[in-house]
Structure 1
Amino acid sequence: MTDDPARPLCVRVIDLETAGNGAGDVCEIGWQDVVQDAGGLWSVSETSRGARFVNPGRPISPDTMAVHHILDEWVADAPFWKDVAPSVLRPDTPVVALAAHRAAFEQRYCTPRLSGGANWICTWKCALRLWPELLRFSNQMLRYQRRPEGLVHERGLPAHRALPDAYVTAHHLRDMLNTVPLSQLIEWSRQPGLLPRVPAGPDRGRPWSALSDAALATLARDRDIDVRFSAETEVVRRGGQPLAAPARSNQQTLI
């Protein structure tokens, strides 16, 4: 984070494509910066974006290629993750935070050692808070439900490639930053996801406020941390006490 008041603030949106689940299995990283002008307005940078292939050190399976369409021969001569990550995650022009949609995935690979201990914003968690009326909260569903101003359709394609996905996420982030303070987005991102509706089971799709006390108590003991946190938030709203302090979310709930 920079302490220079003359330097505009910048949040770097990160998106990764991988060849597996290992610590070095990244095969592409994309980034798109969101910057604040002197008047405090945030915008998607027209110049500070990019993507790099990364050698994952292993073959990319056909199943994985079918998602992002990155071929082995494209990454064969690329540098390894440990050599690529620092220059992207800690650029010469400092960033005040890193961001990603469902940031827990990127954080598995962008460790504090590689990122310099940067703060993170999860645009999925923040979307749950800011736009709870929406039906779904994936990056692409937000794109078509919200139709963010200025998003060039072709520049956000193909989906499931690092730079186009980062570009789409950056438009959601820009609108978030122009709605609530940066510090609020970081704080929300440190907590589990506050789901606007029950995601599964007999009460699927119902708002938490519509549940009986008994149903709420059951969901407050759910295995999914986002479900537990959401149920306990409603318990507290009704004047009750949370069962336990919420831990950090692994962001595995699908909504």
Structure 2
Amino acid sequence: MKIRVLDFETTDQADEKAKGKTVGIVEIGFTDVDGITGEVSPTESYLVNSGIPIPPQARAVHHISDDMVKDGLPPDEAYRLLMAHMEPGDLFCAHNAAFERTFFAGGVHAWICTMICAKHLWEEAPSYSNQALRYWLDIDRDMQWPTIAMPPHRAGPDSYVTAHILSRMISTHHPSSLLQLTNTPVLQKRVMFGEKHRGQLWADMDRGFLEWVLSPGKNFDEETRRTARHWLNKQSGLSGTPFA
């Protein structure tokens, strides 16, 4: 079983694309991982010319310019490369897979999200970005070609780092378990916002705080709201799914 770890650099964020804005890919990177042994293969990366100007705020992240991509691959050709040599039963993977899947569905192949899996497996991690996990797990010592991991925020290096995070997960969990974790909603262990409550256990939060998080007009992400709803339900003695 092959797991192809993807990373994209783009002209804007996925949520802007979801709102109807035209957003393009400017670079793809992928690194294959053996789903049984966790062995990491060499990385491939390609610049992509989506025909969409790269704004300064995007360049500030990945430092890719319009001039750099003018001879890049057309998007359709880049997508074909991502599908090349993918066999039945092979998987795709990305860190925050929802982002990559906004641009590339991956056909019939299922996806592993290493960020979601990390939240389930490593509750004490200080952060769940791939670079933070890289150093927290000290995965550089596992890298056969450490220079490939640099610079950050480029598609090839980021896919290589994520591939090693995945490999570390495979050392203790079969890919089928990682697929299951990917599709299991995350409950946060600790509050991750606010000067007063940051770092405290959600289990210790009082009813007033939980109701405040869930009150209309509060713009918390769904994961945070789900966690607050779970603990409010627990305090109310409600039974059933904790994700209701």
Shorter-chain TM-score bucket reads 0.7 to 0.9
Using a 3 Å threshold, how does the CA distance of structure 1 residues 76 and 11 change in structure 2: closer, same or farther?
Answer: same
Partner Cα separation in structure 2 for residue 159 and residue 183 of structure 1: 29
Partner Cα separation in structure 1 for residue 95 and residue 3 of structure 2: 13
1:68: how far off? 0.8
Contact 1:56-1:80 at 8 Å conserved across structures = yes
1:124: how far off? 0.8
Contact 2:7-2:159 at 8 Å conserved across structures = yes
**Counterpart for residue 222 of structure 2:** 225
Using a 3 Å threshold, how does the CA distance of structure 1 residues 96 and 236 change in structure 2: closer, same or farther?
Answer: farther
Q: Which of 45, 60, 64 is equivalent to 2:54?
A: 60
Does residue 156 (structure 1) correspond to residue 149 (structure 2)? The answer is yes
Does residue 41 (structure 1) correspond to residue 51 (structure 2)? The answer is no
Structure 1 residues 128-207: aligned runs within 5 Å: 128-148=119-139, 149-151=141-143, 152-201=145-194, 202-207=196-201
Q: What TM-score, normalized to structure 1?
A: 0.79
3-state DSSP of counterpart to 2:39: strand
Higher helix residue share: 2
Question: One-letter code of the match for 2:6?
Answer: I
- Can you give the 5+ residue segments of structure 2 that lack an aligned partner in the other structure? none
Alignment length (residue pairs) = 229
1:217: how far off? 4.8
| Identity, % of aligned positions | 34
Question: One-letter code of the match for 1:128?
Answer: K
- Can you give the 5+ residue segments of structure 1 that lack an aligned partner in the other structure? 1-8, 247-255
Does residue 86 (structure 1) correspond to residue 80 (structure 2)? The answer is yes
Contact 1:18-1:26 at 8 Å conserved across structures = yes
Q: What TM-score, normalized to structure 2?
A: 0.83
Contact 1:124-1:138 at 8 Å conserved across structures = yes
Q: Which of 101, 126, 137 is equivalent to 2:117?
A: 126
Question: One-letter code of the match for 1:28?
Answer: E
Partner Cα separation in structure 2 for residue 16 and residue 167 of structure 1: 12
Question: One-letter code of the match for 1:56?
Answer: S
Contact 1:16-1:106 at 8 Å conserved across structures = yes
1:141: how far off? 0.7
Partner Cα separation in structure 2 for residue 189 and residue 20 of structure 1: 25
Partner Cα separation in structure 2 for residue 183 and residue 213 of structure 1: 37
State which drifts further: 208-217 or 50-59.
208-217
State which drifts further: 171-180 or 229-238.
229-238
Contact 1:233-1:242 at 8 Å conserved across structures = no
Partner Cα separation in structure 2 for residue 237 and residue 192 of structure 1: 17
Partner Cα separation in structure 1 for residue 190 and residue 77 of structure 2: 42
1:187: how far off? 2.1
3-state DSSP of counterpart to 1:140: helix
1:244: how far off? 8.2
Using a 3 Å threshold, how does the CA distance of structure 1 residues 30 and 179 change in structure 2: closer, same or farther?
Answer: same
**Residue deviations 1:29-58 (CA, integer Å, cap 9, x gap):** 00001104xxx432212x4x3011111212
Does residue 210 (structure 1) correspond to residue 207 (structure 2)? The answer is no
Partner Cα separation in structure 2 for residue 98 and residue 167 of structure 1: 14
